[in-house]
Structures are given as structure tokens and as C-alpha cells.
Amino acid sequence: MPDALTELLDPMRILLDLQQGNEIAQCFSGCLEPEEISRRVTHGLVEKFNCAFARLWLLQADQTTLKLVASSGMYTHTNGSFARIPMGAYKVGKIAQNRVSFLSNNLAAESWVGNREWAIANNIRGFAGYPLIVKDRVVGVLAAFSHYAMEPEFLEVLQTLCTIVTFALDTALQYQREKQIWQSSTRSPIFSNLSLSDQLVSILSSARLTLVGTEQPLNLAVTYTFLQAAEILNKIGCSYCRLIYTGKSVALEAIVPTTNLTSHNPEGWIQTFLGQLFFMTSYLGGILQTQASVNQRAIQVVLKVPYSRDKLGEKLRIGCRLPLLQLAFTHLAFLAGLMVCNETDEDVPLLTDDVTQIQSAKRVLWIQQGIQALPKGIKAKVDLSISPDQLRQAVEAVIQGELWDVDPDTQTQQILSNRELEMMALLAQGLRDRDIAERLIISESTVKFHMNNVLKKLKAQTRYQALHQAIINGWIQSANQTT
């Protein structure tokens, strides 16, 4: 059965909206301040999608109240009658409580609106409210208000953006909670003037600690990460630690005996215990590894973080579809000595696996996955096995105007059959399966068969992702180009 929503979507519009959504996501990439992330999201919705105003509430620690932390557009204040909303109260509270999104393009006619005159006077027509959920936990609610009826394309992109926003907020909130716990502990005032080794000794009271090298001053984020690691290691029974200072980095090597652990998979259990620390370490450009000894009697934990660097290499913009892939390549770029930035300057090289972002940069490094065709115009091709040195070489090559691991003759390689291209061209004109079948004098089931083949060949999730790939590669022209 055809998807009714898919039939309504404008492929060119949804591609543009995806580009705008990705730009919003890039604005808060790497940020660990929940309120700052929220402000960038609401500001982005107003700026990129012409929303009348947008607001974001975060669920408080008591799990009973939503606090307004960001508001952009017509209203920028975060106080007033909607500053704190009880769970289940008003529409926002119900969205959080029931975990169900709500969409309306006739806000003044909704029975739950308390002030319909306000909606009419300010010409507020559209409303979209989405719960921000991680597994079975509610993080907050994002709401957007519009002077115009909200298009289906925008609502689809907003739902995708909410997934990324939720991941970023949950990570930032966890970081802030752990940081607050540490700063409020009785040790905190004493530690302000102590070296890292002295602080570690105080935490790891039952472990033997060895210092190797000359201690260096560390910034707050690096120090906090090592202290958090020490707290965890102390809880899981660490017996020995070695703090190592080298010319470029500081490392903590720890030994955790498995004799007192009841888990059948002690290494996996310890990795789970370390949890959020993996993200923090990657964010700082470091590594966090665990490895079982040969006789399985102990687990070695290694935390290594480079010193804060004032001088980094070339600039690089990273825009991946998945947050985890974004994090992995950000980590790799730090190790490569590159300066990861969010600048929209098209001269700054862009590393991406998202075809919707390619047109925003002149120098594109494409993350190749599987056998998908290379987009048209890319300057370098990398994959998930690339090393930091290779990434740096690839970035330097494209800045100098050279190709890196790209054969000019295969840049526009066509992997779709002529019949499939013919169908994609008709899809670009807005035709539905029934219309395409009539135009080509074939059955509708044959059209669906060929379209499914296209999705498989291009590794696309939807027809419109496949359509965009075909346009980007120059295999077909968009409807705007043909008119």
C-alpha cells in the first residue's frame, strides 16, 4: 500500500528542509550546556524555518515540572505563566506526560487553547509539539508556532531534528549532573590547589598509584574527566593506577582484578560502568579502552587525553547523519590535529556522509559506506577505517585543490539502469506510481519493483533520499532545472 504522507511530500522541499535541519544540528554539535543547546535549537527554528516563535522546556530533577529554558522569535523571555509547567498541565505538559506529539494548523480552533483571541490577533496558525524522549525517559518538550500552516515536509524534518536534539540534551544533562555532584562534594574546596596526582590519591585510597613524568597544568574539562574516572575505578575495586605525563598527553592506566566480580563478562560490565565517560573522552580528543589480561584475572583500563592545544591544523567542518558517527569523526579529527569548527564558509572543507550537505561546501570529503555511488563533485573519499594521519593528509590535499583517493573517471559513475533513471526523472516531476505506470505503459507493481531496486542500489531509506542522490550525481535533472 502506498504511504499517504509520502504521496503528499514535495521531494525538492524536503531536501531543502533537511539541509536547514542539519545546519541547526551543527550549531550545537559538541556543546555540553543544556540551556545553550536549547537556545541554539529554538533560534535555528525561527531563523531557518521562519517560525513565529519556538520554545523548549526541560524536565526538572523532581520529574514533576517542565522548565522553560529557551524561547526565540516573538517571545524571548523565559519567565511568565508558562515558565514552569506541571506534568500533565496544558498541552505541553500533556505532550510530556503522554509522550505523544501534537500537530495543528488551526490553533485558534483548538479547544485546549486558553486564549484564542491571542492566537487570532497574532495570526498564529500552526503548532507542533514534540516530546524529547530517550528510551523510556522524557527529557523535555520542543514546540514551534507558525504564522502559516506547517508543511508536511517541515514536520518530518522537525521529528528527525528532535531525535538529534534529544541525544545532545541527554548527554549534556548527564555531564552537568555528574559535574554538580563532584563540585558539591566535601573534597572539592580542598582540591582547588592540588595537583591531579594528589587528587587521585585522595579518591583511590585503596589503590597503589605511581606517577610517571612531570605534572603539567590541565584545563577543567580534562581534570574533571580524570577525577570522574578515578571515582568509577574506586567503585569497581581498582588495585593499581599509573598516571603518565608525556610531551603531548596525560594518561591513566589502571588494573581492576576480576576475582571479586560476579559478572560472566567482566570487561563488558566495566565498559558499561564507564558509560558516559566514553563520550567525554572522545569529546576531548582522547581514548578510553579496556582490555582483559591473558589469564582473565584482571582488566586493564587506559584513559589518555591530549593536552589542550592552542595551535591546531587546518579547519574542518563535520556533518554526519548519525550522532555517533559525528562523534567518531570529531574524535578522529582531534587526533589528526585538525580544528573542528561550525563555520558555514563554503571554503572550509566538509567531511560528510549526507548528500543534502554537499552543496554547502566547495571542498567535500565523502565518507564512503558500502557500495553506494560517489556523489558528483567530491574531492576526497574516506571510510570508517581511515587513520588520523590519513584524514589529515586528505584534508590538506583538498585544500590544495587536489583529489584524494578519488578517480575522476568514476565520480559520475551510473549504477542505475536506463529504465530506473527514467522513473526517477518522472518522480522528480512529482508523479505518483499510478501516473508513472500510465506514462510508461506498465503496471503499477512494476513501478514499485523498480523503485525498490533503486533504494537497494543507492542504500537509501526513502525514495526522496534516492532521488536526491540521483540529482546530486547528475544522473537526472530536478523539476526546477527542467522547467
Percent of the chain with pLDDT over 90: 26
Residue 341, strand partner residues: 317
Query: Residues 303, 281, 380, 317: is their CA dihedral positive or negative?
Result: negative
pLDDT at 444 over 70: yes
Tens-digit pLDDT profile for residues 327-343 = 678 767 877 778 777 66
Average pLDDT, the chain: 81
Provide the pLDDT for residue 262: 59
In terms of Cα–Cα distance, which of 429, 440, 482 is closest to 10?
A: 429
pLDDT of residue 473: 64
Share of the chain above pLDDT 70, in %: 83
Cβ-contact 428, 471 below 8 angstroms: yes
Distance between CA atoms of residues 204 and 115, nearest Å: 59
pLDDT tens-digit series, residues 340-378? 776 677 888 999 887 777 777 889 998 887 656 677 778
Sorted by where each starts, the structural domains of the chain and their CATH numbers stand as: 4-180 (3.30.450.40), 196-306 (3.30.565.10), 315-410 (3.40.50.2300), 418-482 (1.10.10.10)
Would you state the cell numbers that stand for residue 244, as one nine-digit string? Answer: 603518565
The pLDDT assigned to 22 comes to: 74
Dihedral angle over CA of 229, 233, 234, 237, nearest 10: 180
Q: Is the pLDDT of residue 150 over 50?
A: yes
Tell me which H or E stretch contains 97.
Answer: helix 90-98
**Res 481: pLDDT:** 44
Label the pairing between strands 240-245 and 208-212. parallel
Q: What is the dihedral of CA 19, 22, 24, 30, to 10 degrees?
A: -160
Report pLDDT digits (tens) over 222-261.
Answer: 888 898 889 889 888 888 999 999 988 999 999 988 875 6
- pTM (2 d.p.): 0.47
* Predicted pLDDT of residue 461: 82
Q: Closest by alpha carbon to 319, among 342, 352, 364?
A: 352
pLDDT at 201 over 80: yes
In 3-state terms, what secondary structure has residue 248? coil
Instruction: Give the pLDDT confidence of 180-192 residue by residue, as tens digits.
Output: 665 555 444 344 4
